[in-house]
Amino acid sequence: MIPVQGVEGHRVAVLGLGRSGRATCSALRAGGAEVLAWDDSPETRAAAEAEGVPLHDLTRIDWSGVAMLVTSPGIPHLYPAPHPVIAAAYVAGVPVDNDIGLFFRSFSTATNMAFEAPPKVVAVTGSNGKSTTTALIHHILTEAGIAAQMAGNIGRGVLSLDPPGEGGVVVLELSSYQTDLARALTPDIAVFTNLSPDHLDRHGGPGGYFAAKRRLFAEGGPDRAIIGVDEPEGQYLGGQLAEAPEDMRVIRISSGRRLSGPGWNVFARKGYLAEYRRGKQVGSVDLRAMPGLPGAHNHQNACAAWAVARTLGLSPRLIADALASFRGLPHRSQLVAEVGGVRFINDSKATNVDAAARALQAFDRIRWIAGGLGKEGGIAGLAPHLGSVIKAYLIGHSARDFALQLGDTPHALCETMTAAVVQAARDAQPGEVVLLAPAAASFDQFPDFEKRGDAFVAAVEAWQAAFAEGQGA
């Protein structure tokens, strides 16, 4: 646990008692604060109370004497409207923060500064690829023998981490919900992967969404910024951060095009990653045969992880070996099984059109499972990426709406995950891929994308067992 600094003797309110909220309560109490905690869900409150979290109804408290409100990332604090408790804190003039802000203000203690090699923080944000990039960085560091921990929007709550020791590295995945509110954001290395429309209602539009991501780079100023420049926002951000074209504090990364110029660039083209500094190549690796990194989108993730590892002083050979041993994350281009020459790929995390497009571009001869709770615009934006789709198998609330947007692409209305997997598996021929890339939220049939991916895996495993018994024909 990382005790929160600067709260001793203060009353601190905590709203939201999920994983990060409960860790926040513990870290605040370890820092000497009196905690007033609440959650709108009776079940969550009961679970927190069972762990010893002190409950106080924040909708009825007197805000005088409360030093701060700490809120969980999923709770709206501005758009589309602030949660009533947060609105009350604003009116009372009480500062509002989240666990990410508390982490950064508490991380660099005098003890840490006494190390010969002080611990470092790497923070990763962007629309797509954050989780894979974060896990890939952590994997490379671990393979190199560096004591690394992973937290944030993946793995553990940040305040539940162990205080890092000499030369340790903390790798954080940070969503726009987390960066938007944190009052302190001071990573040593910050990564921006890419940007595509998402969470627009929460941020008041695309400008607010990008501004939330940009705060990671503008609030504290990392020592090194690694910026995906395949979209205008990344190009703008790189230009804002660099003092000159040759400024080595900014590393530009790309998947699909060669980067030039006198600075530090890492890019991947046709499956090959190359690193250039001051116009000269200093490292390269062939990504094509790496099973945990299929497709151009994962090659961008590899570029970001490569840049972080090189910033931390690791050699190209060591990084290449670690990339080759990475097996990917569940629900993100995850190879579940190969049955009768057909590969089954779980990309349940592809909850928006941009992520689904990246998945569709990563494979050939696709039996595509899509659908769920569709987002604004449906799948109209995927029209240019359907060339490899042999047939679509549609599930969930938006199945019929998606069917209307498929044009001439053959499709079947399957409704459920099990029905979609069975029909796609029966239709598939050797060499084809059954790909779950929903292009939609999961909340119509599943509580989250993980449970949706788990349902896909379970259906594939059932098919695999039936096939092995000679029933899959």
- pLDDT per position as a tens digit, 50-84: 999 999 999 999 999 999 999 999 899 999 999 99
Does 128 show up as a binding residue in the annotation? yes
Write out the H or E segment, with its range, that includes residue 456.
helix 449-468
Does 41 show up as a binding residue in the annotation? no
- Cα(92)–Cα(76) distance, integer angstroms: 18
Q: Which long-range contacts (CB under 8 A, 24 or more apart) does 46-54 make?
A: 47/17, 48/17, 48/21, 48/22, 51/22, 53/17, 53/22, 53/25, 54/25
Does 127 show up as a binding residue in the annotation? yes
Q: Which CATH class is domain 334-468?
A: alpha beta
Fold of 102-325: UDP-N-acetylmuramoyl-L-alanine:D-glutamate ligase (3.40.1190)
Note whether 11-97 and 334-468 share their fold. no
Alpha helix segments (H runs only) across 42-169: 42-50, 84-92, 99-107, 110-113, 130-143
Q: Count other Cβ atoms within 10 Å, centred on residue 30.
A: 14
Residue type, 278: R
- Token readout for 451 is 């449970």
Does 130 show up as a binding residue in the annotation? yes
- How sure is the predictor about 112, in pLDDT bands with cuts at 50, 70 and 90? low
pLDDT at 114: 73
pTM: 0.84
CA 119 to mean position of chain CA atoms: 23
Does 349 show up as a binding residue in the annotation? no
CB-count exposure of residue 417 (10 Å: 0-12, 13-18, 19+): buried
What is the dihedral sign for C-alpha 334, 338, 342, 344? negative
- How sure is the predictor about 312, in pLDDT bands with cuts at 50, 70 and 90? very high
Question: What is residue 414's three-state secondary structure?
Answer: strand
Fold of 11-97: Rossmann fold (3.40.50)
Q: Is the pLDDT of residue 430 over 70?
A: yes
Does 132 show up as a binding residue in the annotation? yes
Q: Domain-by-domain residue ranges, the chain?
A: 11-97, 102-325, 334-468
- Cα(94)–Cα(12) distance, integer angstroms: 10
- Cα(195)–Cα(354) distance, integer angstroms: 9
pLDDT at 198: 75
